[in-house]
A and B are shown apart, each in its own frame.
Chain A
Amino acid sequence: MYTDVIMAGFGGQGIMLIGDILTYAAMHENKRVTYMPTYGVEMRGGTANCTIMISDEEIGSPMTGHPYSVIVMNGPSLVKFQPKVRPGGFLLVNTSLVEATAVTRADIDTLLLPANDIALELGNGKIANMVALGGYVERTQVVSLESIKKTLPKAIAERYHKTLPINIKAIETGAQLARRG
């Protein structure tokens, strides 16, 4: 088994955090995993992305130009990453911030989730990232939702642990919508 995912959005959307959570969940399932953050000259409000590789075997390159999956949380990331998804791959797009009509690939599985709107409905606009993570995990089955929930406290700083229930709720909601879609 081998898969990878690029998660991309603005700095501040919690992209790196959901990358961390997925990585911990893969570790929990005794899989090999690498996590590579965007690396370069970064600025506040700029783009942020990370690449995660998950496999049963030794992982070579920690980066890829042809990802199996991409989670796009903002417009610039769709422009950058939509063309790179492997044929037959998976693209999740946050349609709260990206025009659904801009999603044009027909040769891949796509999931359109208005993640920010769903997060606001749940009562916290900051958890759009968790909605997307839930949708990604449910659709790809790369790790189990149980592993995600179990390892969540490891990835989230202790001072934010009071937010665990609403984060879990957001992940579950994302997953549920992915099932329906």
Chain B
Amino acid sequence: MKESQLVKGNVALAEAAIQAGCRYYFGYPITPQNDIPEYLSEHLPKQSGVFIQAESEIASINMVMGAAATGARAMTSSSGPGISLMQEAMSYMAGSEIPCLVVNVMRCGPGLGGISPTQGDYFQATRGGGHGDYYNIVLAPASVQEMFDLTMKAFDLADKYRNPAMILADAILGQMKEPAILEPREPVRTSAKPWAITGAADRKPQYLKTLYLSDGEQEAHNLELMRKYDVIRDKEVLCEAKNLEGAELLVVAFGTASRIVKTAMNMAREEGIRIGLIRPITLFPFPSKAILEASEQIPKVLVVEMNTGQMLIDVQVSAHKSAGIFFYGRPGGGVPTPEEVLVEIKRSLHATAGIQASKNSVG
């Protein structure tokens, strides 16, 4: 077992990519993820890998598509507006089932936004983001260790399902240092990729394409993708459940927001208030079943996000119909303090079931 190292989240993520066998990085600088390309520009060439700072995000993601189409593990990283520019190619990769990793260390929006920590890209990440009927596999780390572990996992899931995978992080997770063990939890798996475009010298030519014009061909393809997403929903859900037994209120939060909630939970416990937490680790697939089961037992649910209510929709869809669902959100770089979350916990507990708590009580 390796010793813990004190490392930034962004660096842990970049190191995980190398250990996962990624040898191709293409990207364009943007705060707050620049430590990722900085690290890879130094360390990828040492592993005979390729690091290219492309002329734009559009070029970067298309280079990722080209490299990944040959069967190589390839990635890019960006933030907010850069990720928006990549959506066309991500849709093409979803359609032609080319696996890759796209890292979004979120910044505020809409537009260029600020660089403060936020979770405003939940919809974009979990609803596909580009055109067409598709999903990305989306993983939401909440610690430096998970920046490492989930990056390894993302490459694995992307290959397994031939699907783009995304890490959805924020400036706190990227900049924070914590001790982390930078070593794979299980041996790195690599799967055969008979679909890859590797030259047709000894075999029939094959294609990776997204254009289906014959009668019914596109629909059949979409239904095939749907079946794949259903398998992912069935098999790949990850979430952390904490203190659900006997809880008066269930809090649902992901990423950095879940860290703040954990401190608020401890403060609540000192006041004799029992709070349970479900922290979705995969945002797609969403832990709907865990939330349904927990909300059957715990009648009140508070969703805490650093946005104006995005995962909230998934919780509303998932939770038991009798559950009262409340929301506390801080958008645009507002980071809730544990004390503020505790106030919202109490407000939710005392509110009449079914009536929404104020969307932003801090103003």
Residues of A within 8 A of B (CB): 20, 23-24, 27, 33-37, 39-41, 58-66
In the complex, chain A residues whose CB is within 8 Å of the CB of B4: 27
Task: Flag whether B296 is at the interface (Cβ < 8 A).
Answer: no
Say whether A61 contacts B175, CB under 8 Å: no
Partner of A33, one of B32, B179, B259: B179
Task: Flag whether B260 is at the interface (Cβ < 8 A).
Answer: yes
Task: Given A34-B178, A61-B260, answer yes or no on A24-B115 (Cβ-Cβ < 8 Å).
Answer: no
Task: Flag whether B70 is at the interface (Cβ < 8 A).
Answer: no
Say whether A60 contacts B116, CB under 8 Å: no
Say whether A60 contacts B176, CB under 8 Å: no
Q: Give 11 pairs: A residue, B residue, CB < 8 Å, sorted on A.
A: A23-B6, A36-B172, A36-B177, A39-B175, A59-B259, A60-B259, A60-B264, A61-B259, A61-B338, A62-B176, A65-B337
Say whether B172 contacts A23, CB under 8 Å: no
Residues of B within 8 A of A (CB): 4, 6, 32, 115-117, 171-172, 175-179, 259-266, 335, 337-339
Say whether B261 contacts A35, CB under 8 Å: no
The 6 A-B pairs at the shortest CB distance, nearest first, are namely A60-B262, A60-B263, A35-B177, A61-B263, A61-B260, A65-B337
In the complex, chain B residues whose CB is within 8 Å of the CB of A65: 337, 339
Partner of B115, one of A41, A59, A62: A41
In the assembly, what is the distance between CA of A147 and CA of B32, in Å? 33
In the complex, chain B residues whose CB is within 8 Å of the CB of A62: 172, 176, 178, 259
In the complex, chain A residues whose CB is within 8 Å of the CB of B261: 60
In the complex, chain A residues whose CB is within 8 Å of the CB of B338: 60-61, 64
Say whether A34 contacts B176, CB under 8 Å: yes
In the complex, chain B residues whose CB is within 8 Å of the CB of A59: 259
- Give B235 Cβ to nearest chain A Cβ, in Å: 28
Task: Given A36-B172, A60-B266, answer yes or no on A27-B259 (Cβ-Cβ < 8 Å).
Answer: no
In the complex, chain A residues whose CB is within 8 Å of the CB of B115: 39-41
Task: Given A20-B6, A23-B6, A27-B6, answer yes or no on A36-B176 (Cβ-Cβ < 8 Å).
Answer: yes
Interface centre among B6, B116, B172, B339 (most CB of A within 10 A): B6
In the assembly, what is the distance between CA of A142 and CA of B335, in Å? 27
Q: Nearest chain-B residue to A35 (Cβ)?
A: B177
In the assembly, what is the distance between CA of A100 and CA of B335, in Å? 33
In the complex, chain B residues whose CB is within 8 Å of the CB of A37: 175, 177
In the complex, chain A residues whose CB is within 8 Å of the CB of B260: 60-61
- Give A156 Cβ to nearest chain B Cβ, in Å: 13
In the assembly, what is the distance between CA of A39 and CA of B116, in Å? 8
Q: Nearest chain-A residue to B264 (Cβ)?
A: A60
In the assembly, what is the distance between CA of A35 and CA of B115, in Å? 19
In the complex, chain A residues whose CB is within 8 Å of the CB of B6: 20, 23-24, 27, 35
- Give A57 Cβ to nearest chain B Cβ, in Å: 8
Interface centre among B4, B116, B260, B263 (most CB of A within 10 A): B263
Say whether A27 contacts B337, CB under 8 Å: no
In the assembly, what is the distance between CA of A60 and CA of B172, in Å? 12
Interface centre among B171, B176, B177, B335 (most CB of A within 10 A): B177
In the complex, chain A residues whose CB is within 8 Å of the CB of B266: 60
In the complex, chain A residues whose CB is within 8 Å of the CB of B32: 39
Task: Given A27-B179, A61-B260, A62-B259, answer yes or no on A39-B172 (Cβ-Cβ < 8 Å).
Answer: yes
- Give B267 Cβ to nearest chain A Cβ, in Å: 9
In the assembly, what is the distance between CA of A37 and CA of B115, in Å? 14
In the complex, chain A residues whose CB is within 8 Å of the CB of B176: 34-36, 62
- Give A157 Cβ to nearest chain B Cβ, in Å: 14
Say whether A39 contacts B337, CB under 8 Å: no
Say whether B175 contacts A23, CB under 8 Å: no
Q: Beyond the given A24-B6, A60-B259, A62-B259, could you list 9 further A-B residue pairs with CB under 8 A, ordered by the A residue number?
A: A20-B177, A23-B177, A36-B177, A39-B115, A40-B115, A61-B259, A62-B172, A62-B178, A64-B338
In the assembly, what is the distance between CA of A59 and CA of B261, in Å? 11
In the assembly, what is the distance between CA of A16 and CA of B171, in Å? 18
- Give B8 Cβ to nearest chain A Cβ, in Å: 9
In the complex, chain A residues whose CB is within 8 Å of the CB of B265: 60
In the assembly, what is the distance between CA of A61 and CA of B178, in Å? 12
In the complex, chain B residues whose CB is within 8 Å of the CB of A35: 6, 176-178
- Give B65 Cβ to nearest chain A Cβ, in Å: 32
Say whether B178 contacts A64, CB under 8 Å: no
Q: Nearest chain-A residue to B3 (Cβ)?
A: A27
In the assembly, what is the distance between CA of A163 and CA of B6, in Å? 22
Partner of B177, one of A34, A63, A66: A34
In the assembly, what is the distance between CA of A47 and CA of B177, in Å? 20
In the assembly, what is the distance between CA of A29 and CA of B249, in Å? 36
